[in-house]
Amino acid sequence: MTRDLTLAGYAVIALAVLAYQVSAWRRRDRVTFGQFVATLAAWPPTRWPLLAGWLWLGWHLFVRVHWR
């Protein structure tokens, strides 16, 4: 039950993200997730933390893991 509840929480958030993303595709006055991230990546104070975070994500997913 707890696993289902945790997964349901992720699913609800994913659906909310998808709903806003679709509404941003339809309405030009809203910003899509890609545009939001691209704007943060172009702004100097957030650019370097974002790039460093992306490198960390790669290390976390492809280096720091035990494959079965």
Partner 1 sequence: MRRQPSARLSQVRDVKLLAVAAVVLAYAWWATQLRPFAATTGAAVVGAGAAAMAFGAHHRRRSARRLGVVDVAVWATLLGALAAWQVAAYLQHPRSDHPTLSSLANALLDTHPARALAFLVWLAGAARLARA
Residues that bind partner 1 (CB under 8 A): 2-3, 6-7, 9-10, 13, 16-17, 20, 29-31, 33, 35-39, 41-43, 47, 50-51, 54-55, 57-68
Smallest distance from partner 1 to CB 3, Å = 5
Alpha carbon of 41 to those of 11, 16, 32, 50, 61: distances in Å? 27, 23, 14, 7, 21
Give which of 62, 39, 61 is closest to 50, Cα–Cα: 39
Smallest distance from partner 1 to CB 43, Å = 7
Smallest distance from partner 1 to CB 66, Å = 6
